[in-house]
Amino acid sequence: MSYEDALADLKADFGKKKLLTPAEIAPYISKSPSAQASMRTRKQFPIAKKDMGGRVVVSIYALAKYIGEDDGPPDAPEQIRVGKPAKPVAKAAKGIDKTKPYRRPPSLGKTLTALRNRVADTALQLQFQQTLFADLEAIAMDQVAAPGRAKKSKSA
């Protein structure tokens, strides 16, 4: 459809009306008024708009231009240039990638301090257990070595 055909169809539909609201152009561009508003805020709306008294309107001519350019003459395909292949770009020296989070390794000093404390605690526990074992062994030997002791019997 050419620009002239689109303009003739729009004039037949809207008569002498030159400015159209988003609700009126919605069927012609297949976008709801809210979708049009969203596209206008993102500056992606393809049709020139006008602000009239706080309302957004579109010219019938701008709409015809948008509708008419859909079926323009096909562009000639671009010719492929045959030449030397592009040289690969040398990458910069590898460093820390600032786009990814970086986890630093744990401190070795803290790990060594924790191991020293654990070894010291284990040595203290071993010393305590050795002393306890020696004392219990001495008590057991005293009980075996004292033959004169008689056990009390329960007699009435």
Q: What is the mean pLDDT of residues 67-81?
A: 62
User: What is the rounded CA–CA span in Å between residue 135 and residue 112?
Assistant: 35
142-155 tens-digit pLDDT: 988 886 665 666 66
More confident residue, 90 or 120: 120
112 pLDDT higher than 90: yes
How much is the pTM?
A: 0.44
Q: What is the pLDDT of residue 70?
A: 57
Whether pLDDT at 19 is above 80 = yes
Q: Where are the domains of the chain?
A: 3-68, 116-145
Q: Of 134, 8, 107, give the one whose Cα is nearest residue 63.
A: 8
45: number of Cβ within 10 Å: 20
Q: How confident is the model at residue 128 (pLDDT cuts 50, 70, 90)?
A: very high
Tell me: pLDDT of 113 over 90: yes
Confidence label for 71 from pLDDT (cuts 50, 70 and 90) = low
Residue that has been written with the tokens 């009306």 in this structure: 17
Specify the pLDDT at position 97.
67
Token representation of residue 31:
């976008």
Q: 């009126």: which residue's tokens?
A: 24
Task: Report the range out of 58-62, 65-69, 98-102 with the highest average pLDDT.
Answer: 58-62
CA 39 to chain centre: 25
